[in-house]
Structure 1
Amino acid sequence: MSNLHLPTFLLTVARVPLLAVGLPLGLGLLSGYPTAKVVQSDWYKNLRTPPGRPPRQVFPVVWPLLYISMGYASHLVVNALDGASSPSAKSDYMLVLALYYTQLGLNLAWTPLFFAAKKTGMALIDSGIMTAATFYMTKLLAAHYPAASYLLWPYCAWLSFATYLNGGIWWLNRRTHGNAKHE
């Protein structure tokens, strides 16, 4: 893994706290913006959902907090990378950052998959990969920088819950006419 490289731009973004926090927050808000119209649609209102789904008003509160937390964690990681002296630690921090940007891309892809394309099965696959990458990233970070990993554990918990919700929605609606044509 020591040959892992990220574009300089991504490292630069993470080095500036405002940009590190602003990138996931801004992209998340842009990605989620079209959702407001879809949640008013018959398609969304008629979805069967698993037990435990919170009111939809919870999501626009939780997600910005998680985006801020993960963005600041990326800032702490790049600072740790810059100060790391061992090749092993540098390699692990680079892997954490690569996983961070990967999961961020998967996160941003989820909303269009689920809400715009109505492909709940594809969104579930995306969510599963994103959750696995985030848990691995957080576990790896916990070994080197536990304080930074604390910022990511709530995100891991929420992704697990969100994946459960997505899986339940896919399962409960997989045979309905409106969903079958989208899968």
Structure 2
Amino acid sequence: MTTHIPSLTLPAILFQQPAAAILLPVAVGTAIGFGTRPKQTQQTYLALRQPPLRPPPWIFGPMWTLLYGLMGYAAHRAWTTGTSSLNPQTMALTKQGATLYTISLALNFIWMPLFFRLQRPIEATVDIVALTGITGYLIYVWGQVDEVAGWCLAPYLGWLSFATYLSAGAGYLNQWDFSDKERLLDGKPGSTKYVDEKRE
């Protein structure tokens, strides 16, 4: 059972201030999305063999923005509700949840670089499985502090479950190796393209 670990927990001010709590995951998630080169990420995504129900690439940006906003609001609400409680158990659950939330953000933010930039589908799938489990536990913990905070995280858990299916499915269908998706363009070193197998 994870307890509150101050060194692994975001500063209290990032939970106390609603704007900071909401903008932190949105801003960092957006920065990582652009940092992993969106055009190349989209090309890789389209080139991979995918399991059924693969959504179109354009849906991920709006979906993640919404989910990050809900996560931030849940964090603010759970923290302010819990830290104003006179019940020591509620306070302990609030701080435990803050540590879980911080760990979950870290796991969330490294998935995209692992999967697309480093092309490590095994590690990315292990990461998202751990993230899904931690998020489920976080809902249980913060749901005891504030029911609304728990419900705000429920869509995130649902999306993570679907994303785990996509991550594992893409890894399996591509033999856990994305290296053959990138090929030299016109034989020039450093000039590559991603191959859309449906069009070849």
* Structure with the largest fraction of helix: 1
CA deviation map 1:89-144 (0-9, x unaligned): 11111111111111001000101101100111110000000000001000122233
Q: Which moved more, 1:92-101 or 1:79-88?
A: 79-88
Does the residue aligned with 1:174 lie in a helix, a strand or coil? coil
Rounded to whole Å, the distance in 1 between the matches of 2:29 and 2:167 is: 18
Alignment of 1:1-183 (within 5 A): 4-6=4-6, 10-33=11-34, 34-41=36-43, 43-174=44-175, 178=179
Rounded to whole Å, the distance in 2 between the matches of 1:98 and 1:12 is: 14
Structure 1: gaps of 5 or more residues: none
Rounded to whole Å, the distance in 1 between the matches of 2:32 and 2:135 is: 19
TM-score by length of 1: 0.90
Q: 1:166 to 1:35 in 2, by over 3 A?
A: farther
Q: 1:97 to 1:115 in 2, by over 3 A?
A: same
Rounded to whole Å, the distance in 2 between the matches of 1:9 and 1:137 is: 15
The aligned length equals 179
CA deviation map 1:139-174 (0-9, x unaligned): 122233111111100000000000010010011111
Alpha-carbon offset, residue 6 of structure 1: 2.5
Asked if the contact 1:138/1:153 (under 8 Å) is kept, the reply is yes
Q: Which letter maps to 1:39?
A: T
Q: 1:179 to 1:109 in 2, by over 3 A?
A: farther
TM-score by length of 2: 0.82
Q: Which letter maps to 2:18?
A: P
Q: 1:171 to 1:179 in 2, by over 3 A?
A: farther
Q: 1:120 to 1:35 in 2, by over 3 A?
A: farther
* Structure with the largest fraction of strand: 2
Asked if the contact 1:173/1:179 (under 8 Å) is kept, the reply is no
Q: Which moved more, 1:124-133 or 1:169-178?
A: 169-178
Structure 2: gaps of 5 or more residues: 182-200
User: Aligned-pair RMSD on alpha carbons?
Assistant: 2.2
Rounded to whole Å, the distance in 2 between the matches of 1:48 and 1:2 is: 37
Matched with 2:189 is none
